Structure 1
Amino acid sequence: MTASSSRTYPRTVAHADGDIALRLMTGADAPAVLAFAQALPAHDLLFLPRDITEPKVMAAWVRAIERGAIERGDIDSVLAVRDGAVLGCAAVIRDPHSWSGHVAELRVLVSPALRGGGLGQQLAQEGCALAFAHGQEKIVAQMTVDQRGAIAVFQALGFRPEALLTRHVKDREGKAHDLVVLSQDAAQVEAQMRAYGVTEAF
Protein backbone atom coordinates (compact mmCIF):
# COMPACT_ATOMS: atom_id res chain seq x y z
CA MET A 1 0.00 0.00 0.00
CA THR A 2 1.42 3.39 -0.96
CA ALA A 3 1.42 6.32 1.42
CA SER A 4 -1.20 8.12 -0.64
CA SER A 5 -3.48 5.08 -0.74
CA SER A 6 -3.29 4.82 3.06
CA ARG A 7 -4.98 8.20 3.32
CA THR A 8 -8.78 8.29 3.46
CA TYR A 9 -10.26 9.60 0.19
CA PRO A 10 -12.60 11.08 -0.56
CA ARG A 11 -12.89 12.99 2.68
CA THR A 12 -15.27 15.84 3.40
CA VAL A 13 -14.05 19.00 5.13
CA ALA A 14 -16.23 21.80 6.44
CA HIS A 15 -16.10 25.25 4.88
CA ALA A 16 -18.11 28.40 5.51
CA ASP A 17 -19.60 28.20 2.00
CA GLY A 18 -20.45 24.50 2.25
CA ASP A 19 -18.70 21.16 2.57
CA ILE A 20 -15.81 20.38 0.23
CA ALA A 21 -14.56 16.95 -0.82
CA LEU A 22 -10.83 16.19 -0.80
CA ARG A 23 -9.77 13.42 -3.17
CA LEU A 24 -6.81 12.29 -5.22
CA MET A 25 -6.58 13.64 -8.74
CA THR A 26 -7.02 11.21 -11.63
CA GLY A 27 -6.72 11.54 -15.37
CA ALA A 28 -10.47 12.11 -15.64
CA ASP A 29 -10.05 15.33 -13.67
CA ALA A 30 -7.85 16.99 -16.30
CA PRO A 31 -10.60 19.16 -17.91
CA ALA A 32 -11.83 20.42 -14.52
CA VAL A 33 -8.31 21.12 -13.25
CA LEU A 34 -7.43 22.90 -16.49
CA ALA A 35 -10.54 25.09 -16.15
CA PHE A 36 -9.57 25.82 -12.53
CA ALA A 37 -6.02 26.79 -13.51
CA GLN A 38 -7.14 28.96 -16.42
CA ALA A 39 -9.47 30.89 -14.09
CA LEU A 40 -6.66 31.74 -11.66
CA PRO A 41 -4.84 35.09 -11.84
CA ALA A 42 -1.69 34.56 -13.90
CA HIS A 43 0.42 35.95 -11.06
CA ASP A 44 -0.68 33.07 -8.83
CA LEU A 45 1.07 30.60 -11.12
CA LEU A 46 4.52 32.19 -11.24
CA PHE A 47 5.97 29.91 -8.57
CA LEU A 48 5.23 26.83 -10.68
CA PRO A 49 8.02 25.51 -12.94
CA ARG A 50 5.54 25.10 -15.82
CA ASP A 51 2.39 26.89 -16.94
CA ILE A 52 -0.46 24.53 -16.00
CA THR A 53 -2.94 26.60 -18.01
CA GLU A 54 -1.43 25.00 -21.13
CA PRO A 55 -3.26 21.81 -22.18
CA LYS A 56 0.04 20.06 -23.04
CA VAL A 57 1.38 20.76 -19.53
CA MET A 58 -1.84 19.44 -18.01
CA ALA A 59 -1.55 16.32 -20.18
CA ALA A 60 1.98 15.77 -18.87
CA TRP A 61 0.70 16.19 -15.29
CA VAL A 62 -1.95 13.55 -15.91
CA ARG A 63 0.60 11.16 -17.40
CA ALA A 64 2.78 11.70 -14.34
CA ILE A 65 -0.09 10.86 -12.02
CA GLU A 66 -1.09 7.81 -14.01
CA ARG A 67 2.40 6.33 -13.95
CA GLY A 68 2.97 7.39 -10.34
CA ALA A 69 6.06 9.44 -11.09
CA ILE A 70 7.27 12.57 -12.84
CA GLU A 71 10.60 13.41 -14.38
CA ARG A 72 11.95 14.56 -11.02
CA GLY A 73 10.31 11.84 -8.96
CA ASP A 74 6.96 10.96 -7.44
CA ILE A 75 3.87 13.13 -7.07
CA ASP A 76 0.59 13.11 -5.15
CA SER A 77 -2.11 15.58 -6.19
CA VAL A 78 -5.10 16.25 -3.95
CA LEU A 79 -8.12 18.17 -5.23
CA ALA A 80 -10.71 20.17 -3.31
CA VAL A 81 -13.99 19.68 -5.18
CA ARG A 82 -17.60 20.77 -4.85
CA ASP A 83 -20.36 19.93 -7.33
CA GLY A 84 -17.81 18.79 -9.89
CA ALA A 85 -15.83 22.04 -9.80
CA VAL A 86 -12.22 22.15 -8.63
CA LEU A 87 -11.78 24.81 -5.94
CA GLY A 88 -8.18 24.11 -4.98
CA CYS A 89 -5.36 21.62 -5.19
CA ALA A 90 -2.22 20.56 -3.38
CA ALA A 91 0.69 18.65 -4.88
CA VAL A 92 3.53 16.94 -3.06
CA ILE A 93 6.55 16.35 -5.29
CA ARG A 94 9.43 14.06 -4.34
CA ASP A 95 12.58 12.82 -6.06
CA PRO A 96 13.64 9.70 -4.16
CA HIS A 97 16.59 9.07 -6.50
CA SER A 98 18.28 12.47 -5.99
CA TRP A 99 20.63 13.71 -3.28
CA SER A 100 17.57 15.49 -1.87
CA GLY A 101 15.40 12.41 -1.70
CA HIS A 102 14.45 13.31 1.86
CA VAL A 103 12.93 16.62 0.73
CA ALA A 104 9.38 17.16 -0.61
CA GLU A 105 8.09 20.26 -2.37
CA LEU A 106 4.56 21.34 -1.50
CA ARG A 107 2.50 23.41 -3.96
CA VAL A 108 -0.95 24.76 -3.10
CA LEU A 109 -3.45 26.68 -5.25
CA VAL A 110 -6.88 27.94 -4.17
CA SER A 111 -9.66 29.68 -6.05
CA PRO A 112 -9.66 33.43 -5.23
CA ALA A 113 -13.34 33.23 -4.20
CA LEU A 114 -12.50 30.83 -1.36
CA ARG A 115 -9.37 32.45 0.02
CA GLY A 116 -9.36 33.53 3.61
CA GLY A 117 -11.79 30.79 4.62
CA GLY A 118 -9.28 28.13 5.61
CA LEU A 119 -9.21 25.99 2.46
CA GLY A 120 -5.59 26.86 1.71
CA GLN A 121 -4.57 25.81 5.19
CA GLN A 122 -6.55 22.56 4.93
CA LEU A 123 -4.83 21.72 1.64
CA ALA A 124 -1.40 22.62 3.04
CA GLN A 125 -2.07 20.40 6.05
CA GLU A 126 -3.11 17.56 3.75
CA GLY A 127 0.07 17.98 1.73
CA CYS A 128 2.18 17.91 4.87
CA ALA A 129 0.42 14.75 6.04
CA LEU A 130 1.16 13.05 2.71
CA ALA A 131 4.80 14.07 2.98
CA PHE A 132 4.93 12.59 6.49
CA ALA A 133 3.36 9.38 5.18
CA HIS A 134 6.17 9.09 2.62
CA GLY A 135 8.79 9.60 5.32
CA GLN A 136 10.02 12.96 4.04
CA GLU A 137 12.29 14.80 6.46
CA LYS A 138 11.97 18.30 5.03
CA ILE A 139 9.24 20.18 3.15
CA VAL A 140 9.79 23.27 1.01
CA ALA A 141 7.35 25.68 -0.61
CA GLN A 142 7.92 28.75 -2.74
CA MET A 143 5.87 31.73 -3.83
CA THR A 144 6.31 35.33 -4.92
CA VAL A 145 7.10 37.69 -2.07
CA ASP A 146 3.83 39.62 -2.47
CA GLN A 147 1.64 36.54 -1.89
CA ARG A 148 1.28 37.45 1.76
CA GLY A 149 -1.79 35.31 2.38
CA ALA A 150 -0.06 32.17 1.11
CA ILE A 151 3.08 32.96 3.10
CA ALA A 152 0.96 33.37 6.24
CA VAL A 153 -0.67 29.96 5.70
CA PHE A 154 2.68 28.22 5.58
CA GLN A 155 4.14 30.19 8.46
CA ALA A 156 1.17 29.15 10.59
CA LEU A 157 2.28 25.56 9.98
CA GLY A 158 5.80 26.31 11.17
CA PHE A 159 7.46 27.07 7.84
CA ARG A 160 10.12 29.77 7.89
CA PRO A 161 11.85 31.73 5.10
CA GLU A 162 15.03 30.01 3.97
CA ALA A 163 16.00 31.81 0.78
CA LEU A 164 15.11 34.75 -1.45
CA LEU A 165 15.55 34.20 -5.17
CA THR A 166 15.73 37.66 -6.71
CA ARG A 167 14.25 38.29 -10.18
CA HIS A 168 13.77 34.54 -10.44
CA VAL A 169 10.61 34.42 -12.59
CA LYS A 170 9.12 36.62 -15.27
CA ASP A 171 5.39 37.09 -15.86
CA ARG A 172 3.74 37.13 -19.27
CA GLU A 173 4.51 40.82 -19.63
CA GLY A 174 8.21 40.19 -19.00
CA LYS A 175 8.30 41.72 -15.51
CA ALA A 176 10.66 39.96 -13.11
CA HIS A 177 9.55 38.86 -9.63
CA ASP A 178 11.33 37.58 -6.55
CA LEU A 179 10.51 34.18 -5.08
CA VAL A 180 10.74 33.32 -1.39
CA VAL A 181 11.52 29.76 -0.37
CA LEU A 182 9.95 28.57 2.89
CA SER A 183 10.93 25.35 4.57
CA GLN A 184 10.47 23.29 7.69
CA ASP A 185 11.53 19.92 9.02
CA ALA A 186 8.63 17.51 8.69
CA ALA A 187 8.81 16.49 12.34
CA GLN A 188 8.58 20.12 13.44
CA VAL A 189 5.64 20.77 11.11
CA GLU A 190 3.85 17.74 12.54
CA ALA A 191 4.52 18.92 16.08
CA GLN A 192 3.20 22.39 15.18
CA MET A 193 0.04 20.95 13.66
CA ARG A 194 -0.56 18.71 16.67
CA ALA A 195 -0.01 21.70 18.96
CA TYR A 196 -2.89 23.42 17.15
CA GLY A 197 -5.01 20.29 17.59
CA VAL A 198 -4.90 19.38 13.89
CA THR A 199 -4.71 15.64 14.47
CA GLU A 200 -7.29 14.64 11.85
CA ALA A 201 -4.70 15.28 9.13
CA PHE A 202 -2.75 12.24 10.32
Structure 2
Amino acid sequence: MDSLAADRRPRKRNTANVQGEPMSKQHIYKLTAFPKDISLRDGTKITFRPMVAADEQELIAFFKRVPAEDRYYLKEDVTSPSVIKKWIQELDYDRALPILAWAGGRVVGDGTLHRTRASARRHVAEIRIIVDAIYRQKGLGTLLLHELAGVANANGIERVKIEAVAEKEDQAIKAAEYVGFVRVGLLPGHAKDMDGRLRDVVILEMPMGKWFEWWQF
Protein backbone atom coordinates (compact mmCIF):
# COMPACT_ATOMS: atom_id res chain seq x y z
CA MET A 1 0.00 0.00 0.00
CA ASP A 2 3.08 2.20 0.08
CA SER A 3 3.44 3.18 -3.56
CA LEU A 4 -0.07 3.51 -4.97
CA ALA A 5 0.17 7.06 -6.26
CA ALA A 6 0.07 8.93 -9.52
CA ASP A 7 -0.72 12.39 -10.77
CA ARG A 8 -3.51 14.82 -10.05
CA ARG A 9 -5.55 16.00 -13.02
CA PRO A 10 -6.10 19.73 -13.66
CA ARG A 11 -8.75 21.35 -11.47
CA LYS A 12 -10.85 24.36 -12.28
CA ARG A 13 -10.82 26.16 -8.94
CA ASN A 14 -8.77 26.63 -5.82
CA THR A 15 -10.36 25.59 -2.54
CA ALA A 16 -7.60 26.99 -0.32
CA ASN A 17 -7.27 30.59 0.81
CA VAL A 18 -4.11 32.70 0.71
CA GLN A 19 -3.11 31.45 4.16
CA GLY A 20 -3.18 27.91 2.84
CA GLU A 21 -6.31 26.87 4.74
CA PRO A 22 -9.32 25.30 3.00
CA MET A 23 -11.89 27.99 2.14
CA SER A 24 -14.78 25.69 2.96
CA LYS A 25 -15.35 22.14 4.07
CA GLN A 26 -18.84 22.10 2.56
CA HIS A 27 -17.82 20.46 -0.71
CA ILE A 28 -18.59 16.96 -1.89
CA TYR A 29 -16.56 15.43 0.92
CA LYS A 30 -17.19 15.86 4.63
CA LEU A 31 -13.80 16.75 6.10
CA THR A 32 -14.74 17.71 9.65
CA ALA A 33 -12.79 14.71 10.99
CA PHE A 34 -9.47 16.32 10.00
CA PRO A 35 -6.85 16.88 11.22
CA LYS A 36 -6.76 13.39 12.72
CA ASP A 37 -4.01 11.95 14.93
CA ILE A 38 -3.18 8.24 14.73
CA SER A 39 -0.37 5.91 15.85
CA LEU A 40 1.53 3.41 13.71
CA ARG A 41 2.32 -0.12 14.84
CA ASP A 42 5.66 1.02 16.27
CA GLY A 43 4.05 3.89 18.20
CA THR A 44 5.03 6.66 15.77
CA LYS A 45 2.56 9.55 15.95
CA ILE A 46 1.06 10.60 12.61
CA THR A 47 -1.35 13.39 11.70
CA PHE A 48 -3.64 13.13 8.68
CA ARG A 49 -5.10 16.24 7.06
CA PRO A 50 -6.01 17.52 3.59
CA MET A 51 -3.27 19.23 1.59
CA VAL A 52 -3.33 23.04 1.57
CA ALA A 53 -1.31 25.67 -0.28
CA ALA A 54 1.14 26.14 2.61
CA ASP A 55 2.33 22.53 2.15
CA GLU A 56 4.08 23.21 -1.17
CA GLN A 57 7.71 23.09 -0.03
CA GLU A 58 7.25 20.13 2.31
CA LEU A 59 5.52 18.21 -0.47
CA ILE A 60 8.45 18.84 -2.83
CA ALA A 61 10.87 17.63 -0.14
CA PHE A 62 8.74 14.52 0.44
CA PHE A 63 8.74 13.46 -3.20
CA LYS A 64 12.49 14.00 -3.47
CA ARG A 65 12.91 11.45 -0.65
CA VAL A 66 10.81 8.86 -2.49
CA PRO A 67 13.09 6.32 -4.25
CA ALA A 68 13.64 7.08 -7.95
CA GLU A 69 12.16 3.74 -9.07
CA ASP A 70 8.92 4.46 -7.20
CA ARG A 71 8.69 7.94 -8.71
CA TYR A 72 9.28 6.46 -12.14
CA TYR A 73 5.81 4.90 -12.23
CA LEU A 74 4.02 8.14 -11.40
CA LYS A 75 2.38 10.09 -14.20
CA GLU A 76 4.12 13.41 -13.55
CA ASP A 77 7.58 14.58 -12.52
CA VAL A 78 6.78 15.04 -8.83
CA THR A 79 10.27 16.39 -8.10
CA SER A 80 9.57 19.41 -10.31
CA PRO A 81 8.57 22.51 -8.29
CA SER A 82 6.40 23.66 -11.20
CA VAL A 83 4.35 20.45 -11.06
CA ILE A 84 3.73 20.79 -7.32
CA LYS A 85 2.90 24.48 -7.73
CA LYS A 86 0.29 23.57 -10.34
CA TRP A 87 -1.28 21.09 -7.92
CA ILE A 88 -1.41 23.81 -5.26
CA GLN A 89 -2.85 26.44 -7.58
CA GLU A 90 -5.51 24.07 -8.90
CA LEU A 91 -6.52 22.37 -5.65
CA ASP A 92 -10.05 21.07 -5.98
CA TYR A 93 -11.06 18.65 -3.23
CA ASP A 94 -14.21 17.74 -5.16
CA ARG A 95 -12.12 16.31 -8.01
CA ALA A 96 -9.04 15.02 -6.16
CA LEU A 97 -8.80 14.96 -2.37
CA PRO A 98 -5.15 14.68 -1.21
CA ILE A 99 -4.67 13.58 2.41
CA LEU A 100 -1.13 14.10 3.72
CA ALA A 101 0.45 12.12 6.55
CA TRP A 102 2.69 14.23 8.80
CA ALA A 103 5.32 13.15 11.34
CA GLY A 104 7.89 15.37 13.02
CA GLY A 105 6.95 18.35 10.89
CA ARG A 106 7.49 16.48 7.61
CA VAL A 107 5.20 14.94 5.02
CA VAL A 108 5.73 11.17 5.16
CA GLY A 109 2.78 9.97 3.09
CA ASP A 110 0.37 11.15 0.41
CA GLY A 111 -2.95 9.51 -0.38
CA THR A 112 -5.42 10.87 -2.92
CA LEU A 113 -9.04 10.07 -3.69
CA HIS A 114 -9.83 10.80 -7.35
CA ARG A 115 -13.40 11.17 -8.59
CA THR A 116 -14.71 12.15 -12.02
CA ARG A 117 -17.50 14.67 -12.49
CA ALA A 118 -19.02 12.56 -15.27
CA SER A 119 -22.48 11.44 -14.13
CA ALA A 120 -22.11 7.88 -15.40
CA ARG A 121 -19.02 7.27 -13.24
CA ARG A 122 -19.65 9.43 -10.19
CA HIS A 123 -20.19 6.31 -8.08
CA VAL A 124 -16.58 5.15 -8.63
CA ALA A 125 -13.35 6.65 -7.25
CA GLU A 126 -9.67 5.78 -7.49
CA ILE A 127 -7.23 5.75 -4.58
CA ARG A 128 -3.51 6.46 -5.05
CA ILE A 129 -1.01 6.26 -2.21
CA ILE A 130 2.73 6.73 -1.77
CA VAL A 131 4.71 6.58 1.48
CA ASP A 132 8.19 7.72 2.52
CA ALA A 133 10.54 4.72 2.31
CA ILE A 134 11.48 4.83 6.02
CA TYR A 135 7.81 4.68 7.02
CA ARG A 136 6.97 1.58 5.02
CA GLN A 137 6.18 -1.77 6.63
CA LYS A 138 4.65 0.13 9.55
CA GLY A 139 1.05 0.16 8.39
CA LEU A 140 0.95 3.78 7.21
CA GLY A 141 -0.16 2.95 3.67
CA THR A 142 -2.96 0.75 4.97
CA LEU A 143 -4.12 3.48 7.37
CA LEU A 144 -4.14 6.03 4.54
CA LEU A 145 -6.19 3.60 2.48
CA HIS A 146 -8.60 3.16 5.38
CA GLU A 147 -8.96 6.92 5.78
CA LEU A 148 -9.67 7.55 2.10
CA ALA A 149 -12.04 4.60 1.82
CA GLY A 150 -13.87 5.96 4.85
CA VAL A 151 -14.28 9.35 3.17
CA ALA A 152 -15.54 7.60 0.03
CA ASN A 153 -18.00 5.47 1.98
CA ALA A 154 -19.34 8.47 3.92
CA ASN A 155 -19.97 10.43 0.76
CA GLY A 156 -21.93 8.05 -1.41
CA ILE A 157 -19.13 6.51 -3.46
CA GLU A 158 -20.08 2.91 -4.19
CA ARG A 159 -16.81 1.44 -5.45
CA VAL A 160 -13.13 2.31 -5.16
CA LYS A 161 -10.31 1.03 -7.34
CA ILE A 162 -6.54 0.86 -7.29
CA GLU A 163 -4.01 0.31 -10.08
CA ALA A 164 -0.56 -1.15 -9.45
CA VAL A 165 2.34 -2.36 -11.59
CA ALA A 166 2.75 -6.13 -11.33
CA GLU A 167 6.04 -7.37 -9.83
CA LYS A 168 7.13 -3.79 -9.07
CA GLU A 169 4.32 -2.91 -6.66
CA ASP A 170 3.48 -6.34 -5.29
CA GLN A 171 3.55 -5.13 -1.67
CA ALA A 172 0.88 -2.58 -2.52
CA ILE A 173 -1.20 -5.26 -4.22
CA LYS A 174 -0.95 -7.57 -1.20
CA ALA A 175 -1.89 -4.76 1.17
CA ALA A 176 -4.92 -3.87 -0.93
CA GLU A 177 -6.03 -7.50 -1.06
CA TYR A 178 -5.55 -7.76 2.70
CA VAL A 179 -8.16 -5.07 3.33
CA GLY A 180 -10.67 -6.56 0.89
CA PHE A 181 -9.75 -5.41 -2.62
CA VAL A 182 -10.07 -8.03 -5.36
CA ARG A 183 -8.41 -8.21 -8.76
CA VAL A 184 -10.88 -7.29 -11.47
CA GLY A 185 -8.61 -6.76 -14.43
CA LEU A 186 -5.15 -6.93 -15.95
CA LEU A 187 -3.71 -4.56 -18.55
CA PRO A 188 -0.87 -6.48 -20.23
CA GLY A 189 2.18 -4.39 -21.04
CA HIS A 190 0.62 -1.10 -19.94
CA ALA A 191 3.76 0.03 -18.09
CA LYS A 192 7.49 -0.07 -18.75
CA ASP A 193 10.10 -0.42 -16.03
CA MET A 194 13.29 1.63 -15.86
CA ASP A 195 15.02 -0.90 -18.12
CA GLY A 196 12.34 -0.59 -20.78
CA ARG A 197 10.71 -3.95 -20.10
CA LEU A 198 6.94 -4.18 -20.40
CA ARG A 199 5.02 -4.71 -17.17
CA ASP A 200 1.39 -5.57 -16.56
CA VAL A 201 -0.89 -3.24 -14.62
CA VAL A 202 -3.21 -4.89 -12.09
CA ILE A 203 -6.63 -3.32 -11.40
CA LEU A 204 -8.15 -3.98 -8.00
CA GLU A 205 -11.57 -2.90 -6.78
CA MET A 206 -13.72 -3.03 -3.68
CA PRO A 207 -17.44 -2.28 -3.23
CA MET A 208 -17.94 0.08 -0.30
CA GLY A 209 -20.40 -2.29 1.36
CA LYS A 210 -17.68 -4.92 1.56
CA TRP A 211 -15.21 -2.37 2.93
CA PHE A 212 -17.63 -1.34 5.69
CA GLU A 213 -18.22 -4.96 6.70
CA TRP A 214 -14.47 -5.68 6.77
CA TRP A 215 -13.58 -2.70 8.98
CA GLN A 216 -16.52 -3.29 11.34
CA PHE A 217 -15.56 -6.93 11.88
TM-score interval for Structure 1 and Structure 2 normalised by the shorter chain: 0.7 to 0.9
Could you tell me how far apart the structure 1 residues matched to 2:80 and 2:199 are? 21
Determine the structure 2 residue equivalent to 1:52.
Answer: 78
What is the CA–CA distance in structure 2 between the aligned matches of 1:188 and 1:61, rounded to whole Å?
32
**Structure 1 unaligned regions, length at least 5:** 196-202
Mapped to 2, the partners of 1:51 and 1:163 lie a distance apart of 27
Partner of 1:199: none
* Residue of structure 1 equivalent to 2:129: 108
Matches within 5 A, 1:20-169: 20-65=46-91, 67-69=92-94, 74-146=95-167, 147-169=169-191
Deviation at 1:32, TM superposition (A): 1.0
Whole-angstrom CA distance in 2 between matches of 1:98 and 1:192? 28
Q: CA RMSD in A?
A: 1.9
How far, CA to CA, are the matches of 2:150 and 2:199 in structure 1? 30
Where relative contact order (Cα < 8 A, 6+ residues apart) is larger, the structure is 2
Aligned CA distance change for structure 1 residues 5 and 185 (closer, same or farther; 3 Å): closer
Assess if the C-alpha contact under 8 Å between 1:158 and 1:192 holds in 2: yes
Going from structure 1 to structure 2, the CA distance change for 1:46 and 1:102 (only over 3 Å counts) comes to farther
Instruction: Please give the TM-score of this superposition, normalised by the length of structure 1.
Output: 0.85
Structure 2 unaligned blocks of 5 or more: 1-25
Q: Secondary structure at the match of 1:52?
A: coil
Percent pairwise identity: 28
Q: CA deviation at 1:160?
A: 0.7
CA displacement, residues 131-153 of structure 1 (integer Å, 9 cap, x when unaligned) = 11221111000111122221121
Shift of 1:84: 1.6
Q: CA deviation at 1:17?
A: 5.0
Q: Check conservation: 2:109, 2:130, Cα contact below 8 A.
A: yes
**In the alignment, which of 44, 56, 63 is matched to residue 18 of structure 1?**
44
1:9 aligns with 2:9: no
1:56 is displaced (CA, Å) by 2.5
Q: Which runs of 4+ in 1 moved over 6 A?
A: none
In structure 2, how many angstroms separate the alpha carbons of the residues matched to 1:175 and 1:17?
40
SS in 2 for 1:177: strand
Deviation larger for 105-114 or 163-172:
163-172
Task: Give the secondary-structure state (helix, strand or coil) at the position aligned to 1:168.
Answer: strand
Q: In the TM superposition, what whole-angstrom CA distance separates every residue of 1:32-55 from its partner, at most 9, and x where no partner exists? A: 112111221233235533232222
Structure 2 counterpart of 1:124, which letter? L
Query: C-alpha displacement at 1:2, in angstroms?
Result: 3.2
Aligned residues: 190
* Contact 2:66–2:133, Cα closer than 8 Å, also in 1: yes
In 1: Cα distance, 2:158 partner to 2:114 partner: 13
TM-score, structure 2 length as denominator? 0.80
